[in-house]
Amino acid sequence: MAASLTISRLLAAPKSLSLSTAAPKSSLFLPKSFSSKLSYTPLPLKHYAHPKPLLRFSTTAKPAISATIAVGDKLPEATLSYLDAAGDVQTVTLSELTKSKKAVLFAVPGAFTPTCSLKHVPGFVEKSAELKAKGVDTIACIAVNDAFVIKAWKESLNIGDEVLLLSDGNGDFTRAIGAELDLSDKPVGLGVRSRRYSLLAEDGVVKVLNLEEGGAFTSSGAEDILKVL
């Protein structure tokens, strides 16, 4: 009788004693007196700085020095000029200078300019015997100046035929190999000239090309040609 009464009371228990499906999962299996005492303290979050990259790259890349002509190319045909001892204009072609020969050609931005007159040409004059001993047949300097200026420059340098001084007065050869140097923004009025370079050609084919940035003089001297012969 007592057991039957107990079961009846349980079945008649108020709905407030039933478990709610909306209750937090943490309280499903814990007594209310225990779950009410639970608490937590949030841990502070530390700020970690993003590590600095180990490699740094410059956004301004230095442009490569290049020209139309390159090692392995055949030199374009062109006609250069000079004044002979009598003051008459003479011409010579690139093929005459280089065909079946080992030729060294170098260019300067202008006759009478300081680096060209004091270093570049004198260096090739000084080393001309060594270059020819290494098998060089022709050493020629090319400048975008008229033949009359070239003759006066040669006389001022007091040189003989160790180095041929040749005029590319209209800049035809200089443009053909892509070595123009635009100095028209300079107050001295140089206009468009040639970049400084030196090259070694065998039977008209470029074997070595030392092209400078503008008028700089760092790698186009006689010593630089001697190193590769």
Could you give the residue numbers annotated as active site? 116
Instruction: Decide: 107 and 141 in contact? Cβ < 8 Å.
Output: yes
Instruction: Decide: 146 and 167 in contact? Cβ < 8 Å.
Output: yes
**CB burial of residue 150 (10 Å; 0-12, 13-18, 19+):** buried
- Name residue 85's amino acid: A
User: Residue 72 is encoded by which pair of tokens?
Assistant: 């392995």
Distance CA 165, CA 154 (A): 7
Instruction: Decide: 130 and 202 in contact? Cβ < 8 Å.
Output: no
For residue 97, the Cα-to-chain-centroid distance in whole angstroms is 32
